[in-house]
Structures are given as C-alpha cells and as structure tokens.
A and B are shown apart, each in its own frame.
Chain A
Amino acid sequence: MAIVNRAEGRAYLTPLVGFLLFFLGFPAAVNLIYSISTVSFETLRSPSLSGFGNYAAVLADREFWGAVSFSMRFGVLTALAECLIGLFLAVFLTPLLAKRSYLMAPLMLPLMVAPAMIGLMYRLVLHEFAGPVPYYLFEWFGDSPAFLDVDNAFRTLLVVEILQWTPFAFLLFYMAYVSIPLEVREAASLDGASALKALWWIELPLMLPTLVIAFFIRFIDGFRVFDNVYALTGSGAGGSTTSLSIYIYQAFFKGGAIGKAVAASVVLFLASLVVLYGLNWITGRGRR
C-alpha cells in the first residue's frame, strides 16, 4: 500500500478545496455581506454596509417566528410520521419483497415525482368540483371537507408530504433491516425471544444510526419545505402556511428586502448547524 506523505496529501486535496471555496465559499461570502448591507435589486453590485440591522429586523418580525413555528411543526411531524410508517413497512414487507423484489419499483414511485408537481397534482385531486376525492366523498357521504381551507390546510400538507417521502425512509430502513446478520436473529430465536422482543431489543438498536439519520434527513427536508406547499396553498390565508423557505423567498423577491431575506437564511443555516451537531452527538452516543 502506497504511503502518502502530508505534503502530497495536501497537494491532492488542493483542487477539491479550491473547488469548494469557489463554488460554496464565494456565494456564502457574498451572502454574508448582503446580510449586513442595505441592498436592493438595483444595488446588487454595490451594496452599502449597514451593520446588523437586517438580523435585528428578522428577529423582531412576528412573521419570521410564525414561519419558524410552521417549519418546525411541519419538519418534526412529517419526519416522525415518515419514519414510523417507513419502519413499519420495512419490517412487515421484507418477507414479501424477498420473494417479489419487483414490487420495490412501484413503492418508490412517489420519489420520482418533483415536489412542485405533487403540489399541482393534489391541487387538482382535492378541488371540490374537479377533484376525484371530493367527488367520491360527496357521492358516498353527501359532503366533503374543504381540504385546503384554513382549518385543514396544515393537515392536508402533512399528508401530501408524508405520502411522497415515506418511501425514502422505508428504503433506508429496509436496507438497514435486511443487513442485520442472520446469526443474531437465530441466536435470539434460540434464546426464546418473540419477534416483537427481537425487534425491540435487538433489531431496533442495531438500526438506531439509520433511524437517526433518516429522521434527520427528513426533518431537514420538511423544515425547509417549499415546492409542494407553495404549489398547493401559496403562503396560505394570512400567511398561515408560510414555511421559512417561503418567508425568505417572499422577503427576497416580493418584498425586495434582500438584506433581510439573506439574514433570515443565515439564521436558518445556523439553526441547521445546531440540529446537525445535536443529532451527531446522539448518534455518537449510540455508537459508544
């Protein structure tokens, strides 16, 4: 095996580091400058530094906190539901998929559709006069809920997100579940452990890192949700379904408050780092 000394290692890494610095570092630096500047579309190339007023404006904005609350609730609830349903499917469908692996393709189908398209699809499917769901509910029960009114919009958005992304969690859990060594299960069985006990005390602990990672990925995705929420409800009546991403988009484009929008995105980035380190710590403890 070839030994690479420190200097050679640095030389090999230089192109990658240069690439990252240019394509990630440069935009990040520009954004940091914008976040402490007075800037508009007309002055994008000549922002004037103005201190931390944009951060103060963001943190004092009740709509920002409304968006944080929406994103937090949406992220946690969808990640939890997707992980629980995905885990359930992984455990109970594994024997079936072992015999009929071709079933995996249709199970993954929702992942193939762009989230914005999913939003548009459900806008049609749930429309009281054009959609099949309200049509059959009217046929069978004489009434249909208004899926996108202010009382139901949040629940509808949750269900749409969960339907699309549960296959992703399922895929991760399925791979983790089938990779548990057969000997471990056989030993548990010989010791008289029931299937439920084996799942709780042996299989789930072995799958814990995957569970945490899946939850983390789905939480981050749910937290920064934009496409399907925007396609289905815009930002909701009175801004009731404004996620943090939609808040940033609206502040940037519609409000022209570029500095404030970028400051909000920096706050979002810092909050994501906190979550990332928190989960890293949890998975680290799990491994120890």
Chain B
Amino acid sequence: MKLNRTSFSAVAVLLASVALPGISHATVTVLGWPGGSEETALRATVEAYNAQSGIADADKVELLFFNRDGFFDKLQADMAAGSDAFDVNLVATYSIGRYAPYMEPVDLGADAGKVFGESVLKTMQFDGKQFGVPTDLSLHFMYYRKDLVDALMQDDAGKKKYAEIAKEHLGKDLQPKDPDSWTWDDWAATTLYFSKQVNSESPVRYGTVLQMKNLLFNVMVFQSLPRSYGADWTDKDGNVTVDSDAYKTGLELYKKLYDAGASPKDSLSYEYAETNAAYGSGQAATALQWNAAAADLTNAEKTPAVAAVTGIVAPPAGPNGRADHIHGLGLGLNKNAKNKEGAVKFLKWLATEDAALLYARSGGSPALAPNVAAKVSKERPDLVKLGEFASQYGYVMNGATSANALSVYELQAKEFTGYWAGQQSLEDALARTKTGMQDLLKK
C-alpha cells in the first residue's frame, strides 16, 4: 500500500511538472511559418518576449507550427471552420486577400512606420487596413561562385570557350562579365559554360540549379525573369497577359538550360531545400534562390564547401532592367482569437524597433528602414542587400494580392512545369494558363 502511494505521488509530480508549465504559459497561441530561418527567429523572439517582467502569465506566448507542405491549405480550412486554436496566424502578401475575411485589422502604433517604412507595412495591408506585422521580407538573390567566375575572367582560353558556347547555344556574341552587371543572357552563357554536359572541362557539374518542381513558390522564383522582359499577369484593363512574348522568352530560356544539362536532371523535383543542397555541395556555379538561404549558404559551418566563395547579387537584368519578386510574411490577428487583448499586445511589441532588431539578430529577415537596418548591418549584411534590392527592383504582379492569387501560382506551376518537362507545347501551356487565370481572376 505504501509503495502504491509513493508510486502514485511520483507519477502525479511527474505529470504536473510536464503539464502545468504548458498550461500556465499557453495563453496567446501564435501559428508561425514552419522551418527555416523564420521559425528559428520567431522562437528566439518569443522566448525574449515571455522573459520580460511586465508580461502576465495570462499573456505569455506559445508557438504552434504545421508542416510547411500544404501549410496554406490547412490554414484555409482551419480559418474557414472558425478555429480558435490560435490567436495569431501567419499571413503573406499573396494570401491576404484569401484570409482577410477571417482576420481582424490591427493597429500597430505610430512607430511601426519608422521601424519598417510605409512601403513595407503595405505588404501586410488589404483594403487599406493593416492586417499584420511584416516579420520577414522575401525576395531572391543570385548566388554565384566568386572563385569560379574570377578564374574565368582571367582565363583567355576560358573566355574563348565561353564565347563559342554563347554563340552556339544562345546565338549571341557574349564575353564573361562581372555578375553584378549580368543580363539573363550573360547568366545563361555562364551556366552553360560551367556545365559538364556542355563544357567537359568545367570544374563543377552544373552551371545553375533551377527550381522546377510543380510548386507555387517556384513560379515566384522564375517570374522575375519574364518580368525583366516586361511581363505582368494582367494589363491595366485587367486583361490576362500571360501569353506575352516576355513570358515565352523566360519559359524558353529555362527549358533551353534544363535540356542542355545546365541544371541537375532532377530539377523538376527541386524546391528550396534541394536547391540549397545542390548549390551547397559545390557542384553548381550559380543558383537563383530565396534570400532566406543567405544565412546558411554563407555560413562556413553549415555549408563548408562554398560559404567562403559565395557572392550575392540581384537577379540579372532584362531589357526592362532588373526585377525581383517581393512579398512579405507576417503575423496577424485571428478573428476568432480567444485572447485578442494578449495577441494585440504581442503584435504591437513585435512591431517595435527592439523586437525587430532581435528578430533580425536571430536569423529572421525583416525589411527594416535604413536607419534601423544600419544597427544590424555588421551581423546581417544580407539585410542591407535585402532592403536595397527590395527598394530598387521589388515588384508585385497585377492581381498577385487577389483572393485567388495562390491558385494562379498553382495553375502556372502546373502548366509551366508541364512545358519544361516536355509534356506539352509552349503554346498549349500558355493557352491553358490564360484560360485558367481569366477564370480565377474574375472571381
């Protein structure tokens, strides 16, 4: 009997020690963007928030993460069902139109504009109302191997070979150039030169890593190419213009590079992680990749093969100059939140300069106003580039914040990958995309 009592007490103490802290602290639940630098930064920031002396136990924050795959679908189902499982949820520029009906606008205070700048705050606005704190800005960097490009620039035989390849594959007279002044043709010629299948003397296996999986985010990476040739989803009258010459040029260039072996054969199944692995292996000369990868690809511990020799520039230029897809990720207030007061308190804190700097130092990528970004420029030089590229080259396609923007990206991903894989002609792919977009954008 005594033994039973002792065992019972021990079990009770054990259960209490495991369960009670979770119960007492979990009063503002934040649903964040899972995986990658965003999750790491949010965890560190929330830890600091909870550690503050002025935060009541009732307002402490607990984090919740779904799987990254299908995240927005699950979120859509939860919000449509009126879920109160989270008080604060993730929102992105391209999904605001879809989720705004299930969220409440939030007043971040006058200082938020000074921390982020008004243009960045707008990435979280819908119908003129603020629906979230812009925690991360996403755009694309062109990562390249400085050592390989520098060696090419000093090698006369290499330059001759480069010119021959450019003439043969692209029909153009080109010479190697500094990556910061690349056009898409220069980049294409460089990737072909550094591909074993085209140039058997290449020191690496591939010239680039194309993200070509049938995935909506990959279309965002791709579309800066046609955009720099003048592409848009619709014209000013709302007519879908996806079958333009600009889109054709971009789609054809990707296919040409893939067919020539400039990108891994498995590229049709590649997304963020696979691209990092391929470039990080030291077997690819360039990669157009999300800015979020910068911290990993330039970290000698995480990517020892290339960290020290990786350069970063903006995506190459087209006839209309450079273009860089831009969108914000942020956190906003669920209409059915159980603890709205606590949630708003957390969101307001997140929009302060101290919190934004902490988030940046923890690996996140907030787009900060220049004077705020200057305070972390030593630890996070990529944030300086982020702000620079966003302000100079950032764009949002017409219709890309509409309620069906995600579905448009899905449609494009399916049809474009079908063309790249050789399953349908360019004309068929564009015709189907156009018809589908007309249907989606008129809803």
Contact = CB atoms under 8 A, between A and B. Distances in A.
Contacts of A249: 73
Nearest to A145: B265
B215 A129 contact: no
B432 to A, nearest CB: 10
B423 A253 contact: no
B407 A254 contact: yes
B101 A150 contact: no
Contacts of B81: 44
* Interface size of A as a range: 20 to 34
B77 A41 contact: yes
Contact of A254 (B268, B280, B406, B415): B406
Contact of B214 (A231, A238, A255): A238
B80 A237 contact: no
| Max chain B C-beta neighbours (<10 A), residue from A123, A236, A237 | A237
A247 to B, nearest CB: 12
Nearest to B429: A238
Interface string B247-288: 000000000000000001110110000100110110100000
B54 to A, nearest CB: 39
A128 B212 CA distance: 15
Contact of B418 (A41, A44, A126, A238): A238
B281 A129 contact: yes
Nearest to A233: B269
A234 to B, nearest CB: 5
Contacts of B266: 126-128, 146-149
B380 interface: no
Given A41-B76, A129-B277, A255-B407, A150 B421 contact: yes
B414 interface: yes
B193 interface: no
A180 B424 CA distance: 54
Contact of A146 (B77, B214, B265): B265
B18 to A, nearest CB: 25
Given A150-B421, A255-B407, A237 B76 contact: no
B277 A237 contact: no
B215 A148 contact: no
B156 interface: no
Given A146-B264, A253-B70, A235 B414 contact: yes
A130 B418 CA distance: 26
B283 A237 contact: no
A128 B418 contact: no
Nearest to B81: A44
A105 B73 CA distance: 38
B101 A231 contact: no
Given A127-B266, A149-B265, A237 B212 contact: yes
Contact of B76 (A149, A239, A240, A253): A253
A42 B421 contact: no
Interface string B377-409: 000000000000000000000000000101100
B422 A150 contact: yes
Interface residues of B, number: 37
Contacts of B420: 237
Interface string A212-240: 00000000000000000011111111111
Given A235-B214, A238-B414, A150 B277 contact: no
B237 interface: no
Nearest to A130: B277
A153 to B, nearest CB: 7
A95 interface: no
Contacts of B264: 128-129, 146
B77 A253 contact: yes
A253 B73 contact: yes
A25 B265 CA distance: 48
A84 B423 CA distance: 33
A286 interface: no
B215 A234 contact: yes
Interface in B342-388: none
A205 interface: no
A127 B274 contact: yes
A256 interface: yes
Contact of B407 (A127, A239, A256): A256
A73 to B, nearest CB: 16
Nearest to A41: B80
B281 A238 contact: no
Contacts of B77: 41, 253
A232 B214 CA distance: 12
Question: Which 9 pairs show the lowest CB-CB distances between chains A and B?
Answer: A238-B418, A146-B265, A237-B421, A253-B73, A41-B80, A148-B269, A129-B281, A150-B421, A237-B417
Interface of B: 69-70, 73, 76-77, 80-81, 101, 212-215, 264-266, 268-269, 274, 277-278, 280-281, 283, 404, 406-407, 410, 414-415, 417-424
Given A146-B265, A146-B266, 5 more contacts: A127-B266, A237-B214, A238-B214, A240-B418, A249-B73
8 contacts: A127-B266, A147-B266, A148-B266, A232-B269, A233-B269, A234-B214, A238-B214, A238-B423
Interface of A: 41-42, 44, 123, 126-130, 145-150, 153, 230-240, 249-250, 253-256
